[in-house]
């Protein structure tokens, strides 16, 4: 299975362990992330229009040092999935998505017509983080999540009811289950719990396989087996809630 993420550092977080999690179950993926830090849908669309080789080509969770354009990435292989997302600080406001999201989706259809497009729902910032309270004006991270969830749902509807990878929902479930240190700097995912949770969500969504008995645990920032067990359940709950698999 071949997976291409048109994203930024948030898709970088989400795909860091995806290849390794799958490999633990003898599932062979090709996972490519097109990386520009802080890249918005507007910038993605402008880069597509200009066929700009502005993206770091990350393969299976690691940098390659190669630069590539969206078009060249789309035509470089037969992709099973292509993921689309908004930059985190604009994810709360659907007015920032369009017309760039629809234009980009049509561009993907043109150069990778066989690919199933899906929406990557990003996550809310950490409670009390200055960018949450001062820059975005939220009193709680839950309020940010509610706004971004609503915006991504509208994005899904506008593109023909695309499926949503519930990364943000999984963060909320993990928080309710007492998991701390999901963020590493207030907004990016932590190298251990945060990135592992995201990888588990993407794995279940895109392969249809359960994470529950997967033994992968070689994380850049070690966490306890107890935390891994809780995170698996949180990921699975989010994936079931969004209709990717049944219980």
Quote the pLDDT of residue 79: 98
Sequence-distant (≥ 6) Cβ neighbours of residue 193 within 8 angstroms = 174, 179, 180, 181, 182, 221, 223, 227, 231
User: How far is the C-alpha of 110 from the C-alpha of 184, rounded, in Å?
Assistant: 37
Residue tagged 């930024």 (tokens):
8
The pLDDT tens digits for 73-110 are: 999 999 999 999 999 999 999 999 999 999 999 999 99
Question: What does the pLDDT read at residue 186?
Answer: 97
- What structural domains does the chain harbor? 2-241 (3.40.50.1110)
Distance CA 26, CA 2 (A): 15
Average pLDDT of span 188-201:
98
Burial code (b: 16+ CB inside 10 Å, e: under 16) for 71-107 equals bebbeeeebbbbbbbbbbbbbbebebbeebbebbbeb
pLDDT over 90 at 246, yes or no? no
pLDDT in tens, 130-187: 999 999 999 999 999 999 999 999 999 999 999 999 999 999 999 999 999 999 999 9
pTM > 0.75: yes or no:
yes
Per-residue pLDDT tens digits for 41-74: 999 999 999 999 999 999 999 999 999 999 999 9
């Amino acid at each position: 299975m071949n997976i291409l993420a048109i994203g930024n550092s948030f898709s970088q977080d989400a795909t860091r362990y995806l290849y390794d999690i799958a490999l633990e179950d003898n599932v062979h993926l090709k996972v490519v992330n097109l990386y520009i830090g802080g890249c918005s849908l507007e910038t993605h669309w402008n880069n597509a229009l200009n066929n700009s080789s502005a993206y770091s080509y990350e393969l299976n969770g690691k940098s390659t040092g190669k630069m590539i354009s969206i078009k060249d990435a789309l035509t470089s292989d037969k992709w099973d999935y292509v993921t689309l997302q908004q930059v985190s600080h604009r994810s709360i406001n659907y007015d920032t998505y369009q017309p760039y999201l629809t234009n980009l989706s049509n561009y993907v259809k043109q150069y990778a017509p066989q690919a199933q497009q899906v929406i990557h729902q990003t996550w809310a910032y950490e409670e009390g983080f200055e960018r949450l309270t001062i820059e975005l004006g939220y009193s709680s991270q839950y309020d940010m999540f509610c706004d971004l969830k609503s915006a991504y749902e509208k994005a899904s509807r506008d593109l023909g009811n695309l499926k949503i990878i519930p990364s943000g929902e999984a963060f909320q479930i993990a928080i309710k289950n007492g998991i701390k240190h999901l963020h590493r700097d207030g907004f990016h995912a932590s190298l251990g719990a945060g990135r592992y949770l995201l990888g588990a969500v993407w794995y279940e969504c895109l392969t249809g396989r359960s994470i529950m008995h997967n033994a992968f645990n070689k994380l850049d920032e070690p966490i306890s087996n107890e935390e891994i067990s809780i995170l698996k359940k949180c990921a699975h709950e989010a994936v079931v809630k969004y209709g990717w698999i049944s219980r």
